[in-house]
Amino acid sequence: MSCKTVLASKVSASFRDQIKKDIKERDIHPKLVGFLANEDPAAMKYAEWTAKTCAETGVDFELRKVSKLELEEKITEANEDASVNGIMVYYPVFGGKQDLYLQSCVSELKDVEGLCHKFVHNVYHNIRYMDKEETMKCIIPCTPLAIVKILEFIGAYNPVIPYGNRLYGRTIAVINRSEIVGRPLAAMLANDGAKVYSVDINGIQLFTRGTGIHLKAHKVEDTDATLEQVIPQCDVVITGVPTPKYKLSTSLLKDGVIAINFSSFANFEDDVKTRASIFVPSVGKVTVAMLERNLLRLYDYQNNLTEKNKQ
């Protein structure tokens, strides 16, 4: 079989090495606080990974277990505590709209997950800097960012094309349109030039920057297309369906497809490697590396070390 399986640990290794080196050479001690307010075993596992990775790279990670009802107050305290450089929350907490409210309660300067309204808004509008002077790059939501980094690693981005358009010519499906991962991811890939089919149970939307990528940022259109029509066209298929029952039929995949799964369940069938050129079974370790990367960036912003000041 000619399919190459790429593990998240392989993709994350160079990021982690760089972060470790940076922290050591600069002799800094960035502190990340993770709030756990649920009993979700997936969140606990993710917290354990975060703790382990942070310990290895020199980040001071502290897990704070709190009740749902005291979480907002604890976030506010951490926002105001100068010894805390980054804040993350293991979602879901309440599970509905109240979680989106909580995401925006984290201070912009400490939001390592990139989930507050400003950062998400900037992703949709292809705004890449926090400030008008363009000295502070925006924080990008971690999981979508991790998937972009994986796509770069495995060659889906074409470095010959100018920066910002490097997915031009690519057709990508993202099966998941959550506010935390799927929708921002579809927007980011379209902003980078791809034609993106965003799939969820309510239907399929098309995210593009238009013919000849003539738009500055993507637009979204509803389509009547079915999964059966769309998937065979796609160079890259990215799945994130949060149930063990969902399996995308291998028979729909284009021969030589790049298949990436970010769900904690296996969304591709066991025989996916008979069709795929590259298969990435999970992304979690890259997500944690991106968390740390965002933390270092925010550490610098908090200490006024913007790109301008560093020069």
Q: Which is nearer to a second copy, 108 or 269 (CB)?
A: 108
Q: Residue 63, SS3?
A: strand
What is the rounded CA–CA span in Å between residue 94 and residue 242?
Answer: 17
Return the residue of 72, 108, 152, 269 that touches a second copy, per CB under 8 A. 72
Choice between 52 and 125, CB closer to a second copy = 125
Distance CA(272)–CA(122), nearest Å, equals: 35
- In whole angstroms, what is the distance from residue 59 CA to residue 61 CA? 6
- Angstrom CA distances, 246 to 94, 195, 266, 270, stand at 24, 24, 8, 12
What lies within 8 Å, CB to CB, of 155 at 6+ separation is none
Q: The tokens of 280 are what?
A: 């990435």
CB 299 to a second copy: min, Å = 25
Taking the complex as a whole, the smallest distance from the CB of residue 204 to a second copy amounts, in Å, to 13
Is 142 annotated in the active site?
yes
Q: Determine which residue in the list 222, 228, 271, 307 makes contact with a second copy, applying CB under 8 A.
A: 222
Helix (H) or strand (E) holding 144: helix 142-153
Give the H or E element holding residue 258.
Answer: strand 257-261
Least distance from a second copy to the Cβ atom of residue 187, Å: 11
Contact predicate 122/128, CB 8 Å: yes
Mask 93-122, x = binds a second copy (CB under 8 A)? Answer: ---xxxxxx--xx-----------x--xx-
Interface mask (CB under 8 A) for a second copy, residues 151-190, using x and -?
---------------------------xx---x-------
Q: In the complex with a second copy, which residue's Cβ is closer, 76 or 309? A: 76
Q: Which residues are catalytic?
A: 142
Binding-site ranges for a second copy (CB under 8 A): 69, 72, 96-101, 104-105, 117, 120-121, 124, 178-179, 183, 205, 219-222
